[in-house]
Structure formats: C-alpha cells, structure tokens
Structure 1
C-alpha cells in the first residue's frame, strides 16, 4: 500500500503544496476542494502542470460544496451534505461540477460527505438522497468516474443499505478511520466486516469518542486515539485493498507537519507488519 496525504486546494497555491509534500517524501495525495469558483480550466491547467513537475499523483478529488456546514450533532443534521432537502439540488450540481473539474485533472474518484443518512429507510430524506446519488453516479459513469461516500455521519449498515439501494457499480466508500469514532457511529475495524468490499479510498486519521450529546469527539494524532490503524491495515491487506492510505490531520501550522510525518512512520510499520503476518 502506498501512503499519501491530503492537500487542500487554494487558488494558485497548489504548486507550493505539491513541492512541500514531495519534499516530505509523499508522491500522491487527495486534492480537497471546497470552492466551486476555483474549478476552472485555467486552474486545472495549473494543477496538472504542478503535478507533472513534481511527479504527484492525485488519487481522488474530495469535493466540497457551498452553503452552511456545521460539524456537530444538532445543526449538522440540517446543514451537511445532500441529506438536507433545502441544499440537495444545489449541492448535487456542485458535485457534478467538481467531478467535471476532476476529470480535467485525470482523476476518477470523487469523494464527499453526504450528511446524516437516515437510519430509517422509510424516511423521505433517505429516498431523496438515493435518487440524488443515483443521478450523480450515472453522470460520473458516463465520464468513467466513481462516487465515494466519506464515512462518519452514518452507521456502517446504513451506508451499506444506501449503496445497495442506489444499485450502481461505480459507488464506493472512502473510509475515514477516525470519523466513525468521532461521530460515535462505530469503529473502522468492525466496519470493514460490514462494507469492506466497497472501500476504494482511506483517510488515515485518529480520534476519540464523543463525551457529550452535541459535539463530535476529538481528533488526535495517529496512535493516540481509538482507531486501531494497525488492525485496520491488516484487514485491508486481507481484503486486497488496491488503494492508497491517505493521511489526514485536521489542524494547521507546524504541529500538523510533525503529526503527518509521525503518522507516516507509524503507517509504514503497520504496513510492514500486515505483510509479515500474511506470509
């Protein structure tokens, strides 16, 4: 398995970000973009040129959207992803626009947070989201692309049910190893028993479970939380996972760089152990 890192897309700063990541020993990344106004032909040319210059492979395009986004258990229900009906059509079109931008970059996998998928399959929002993502998946299929759910805001079985209801062969999962914990929805080791065959991307991240009913758990450096990355990687190896392990550390500044490099060392050792155990 190859180890990559998340790179956030900012206007005319991608070259600098690619240079920095390659100097740290990384050659692949997920490009994370939350600003549809940047999804232009000019910006695509800039990114392609920078990727070629530094030998960077963009493994996935993480597609954000406009409108309010609140990361908690209350307002988050009303603002995140495609589940809130008030934002669904707008964000569906933005994700399709992001996918078109990704296609210009030569990127097949498009990832996003869909929001708090209802546990109840008879909830009208469940049916609405299924129809919406089915439409997105069909459009991406025409372009040879895949749609990936970022895990976190739903239980593993709810995510499995949703993929089954969508019924398209280009719908997969980007497993965030911390999000299931941060949202109190499960853990990544057991989740692989539920939806492992659909995992096409991985965010390597760590965190702790929530300690109150409103706020998410705390994200922490890999190795300091509840995400058992060593066992996750062992199970991914057993599943013949073909993709990249992408480090995500959602802080800024010098400590982020330190934590990412420490994560790289830990993940390298976990990969080695998984390979040795498999022999």
Structure 2
C-alpha cells in the first residue's frame, strides 16, 4: 500500500523541526527532508540540529520517506541562474565535483541516522565546456563512489530525472541504472517531470517497476508536455487515479511524497488540501 509523505521544501519559512511537526499534524505518514538551505544544508547541519530533528521525529512518530539532495543552493552566496543544481556530480571542476560527492555522502549519513530508505539526487546539466559525453563519464565515476558509501549503510540512491538535465526522462534513467549495474541505484520517479517531458505517466511507472526508490507527486497544468510548475493535486490535469492504480499494479509499497515547494507562502494549506485530495486513492 502506498503511504503519503510531504516534503519540507514547501516549509522553508520554518525551521526543520517545526516543519516536521506541521506535516505530521496534517495526517501524513511520512516526511521528506530537504537536504539544503534552510533545513539540512550539510556544512551547517551540526549535531545540535540533528538532535532537534530527531526529537521532532520521535515526538510525532512520523517516518522519513527520503532525503532530498537534489540541490545544494546553500553553496552560493548569490547563485547564478544556471547553477540551480550546481555544484553537481557531473560538473567539470574536479574540486566542485568532489565537494558534491562529499555532500551527497552527508545526505546518506542523515538517511541512515533517521531511518530513511533513500536519498534522491539529480544529475545536473552539462554546462558550457562540459560536453555530454564527458559529463557522463563524470556521472558514472561519481555514482560508483557514492554507491560504495551508501551500500554499507543500507541506503538506496534514487536518480531524479528532469527535462533539460543530463538524465531527463524514464529511458535515460533506466539506461543509467542498467549501465551502473548495482541494486542500490534506482529512480526517484517524479510524476510531474515525466508528464512535462511528454511521457505517459502510467507507462513510466510500469517501466520503472522494481527500480523505484521513491515517488514525487505534484499536479501539472496542461498534463503531458504541460508547464513545469508544481501544483496542488486537483489544480492541474494529471489523473491521480491512474497514478495510484499503476503503483498498485506494480506492487509499489513505499512512500509517495508531495513536492509542493511552490507553496512556501502557505504550506499548511497546500499540505492539507493535497492530503484531502489524495487520501481518497
């Protein structure tokens, strides 16, 4: 049975322990932790902050669905527009790439500490001066090092594809998983990203069966090839009955996490309304 979780990336106006409490108060079984500023930006996420987080998790009894390590915006004082996923695990700068690998290992440490089954990771874009074929070599090397660290800690790594990234669709991520050839690598399947790319969402789910480390949910206006703007379920055009039926068909029993960072001005409303809509499934 699929359980519902909600990402703290909608609660960036709140400290992480308070975000956890608010999500639990809205009925969710799970919470995804944002592995970035202002929540768990790992260079600043010390033992005191981890202890406060653990106290909130113990108090509420909520489970951690995933550590979202897709971005590391805390790295920059003034990030350029192209740097949303930078430094990435495919960046051409050896020092920046090493920093990002180490950052991901810290996310894995947090996952192990709070009992999260997985971390998710985006590949980033091949920026000028870093052609895709070279970026892929960096990707493979980086992932093997990350997986070497994750496997003894019993944490899976889910690649989250997104249009315009090096890995941007279901076909890309499944080919990557096959090429890496390690059971600890899977896909954090973002349903909205599949739709925006133009994929049939049910087909993306069926193709990913047995390789899903987690699910991200949001509605998309325009459905397939719609606008990439995360909306509360019911405010776009995605068919969530089909989504949940497909997940049931493949026997998926993990978390489906609402990722509604676009509602940071009123996350309580977004979390409450999303739960009301999706609990019926």
Q: TM-score, normalised by structure 1?
A: 0.81
Unaligned stretches of 5+ in structure 2?
Answer: none
Indicate the residue corresponding to 1:13 in structure 2: 15
**Is the 2:214–2:256 Cα contact (8 Å) retained in structure 1?**
yes
**Residues 180 and 80 of structure 1: CA distance in aligned 2, closer, same or farther (over 3 Å):** farther
**Separation (CA, whole Å) in 2 of partners of 1:147 and 1:76:** 22
Task: Give the alignment of 1:187-206 within 5 angstroms.
Answer: 187-206=200-219
CA RMSD of aligned residues (A): 3.1
Report the count of equivalent residues: 261
Give the secondary-structure state (helix, strand or coil) at the position aligned to 1:3: strand
Match of 1:224 among 235, 238, 245: 235
Match of 1:152 among 162, 181, 185: 162
**Is the 1:177–1:229 Cα contact (8 Å) retained in structure 2?**
no
**Residues 257 and 102 of structure 1: CA distance in aligned 2, closer, same or farther (over 3 Å):** same
Q: Which has the higher contact order (CA 8 A, sep 6+)?
A: 2
**Is the 2:202–2:242 Cα contact (8 Å) retained in structure 1?**
yes
**Separation (CA, whole Å) in 2 of partners of 1:11 and 1:264:** 21
Q: Does 1:137 align with 2:147?
A: yes
Give the secondary-structure state (helix, strand or coil) at the position aligned to 1:201: strand
Q: TM-score, normalised by structure 2?
A: 0.81
Unaligned stretches of 5+ in structure 1?
Answer: 272-279
Indicate the residue corresponding to 1:105 in structure 2: 114
**Residues 188 and 39 of structure 1: CA distance in aligned 2, closer, same or farther (over 3 Å):** farther
What's the CA shift for 1:160?
A: 0.5
Match of 2:279 among 262, 268, 273: 268
**Separation (CA, whole Å) in 2 of partners of 1:46 and 1:255:** 24
1:123-175 C-alpha deviation (Å, 9 max, x unpaired): 12112201211210111001111111123231211111111111111111111
Task: Give the alignment of 1:1-279 within 5 angstroms.
Answer: 1-8=2-9, 13-34=15-36, 35-63=41-69, 64-66=71-73, 67=75, 75=82, 79=86, 81-86=88-93, 87-116=96-125, 123-153=133-163, 154-182=168-196, 184=197, 186-208=199-221, 217-253=228-264, 255-269=266-280, 271=281
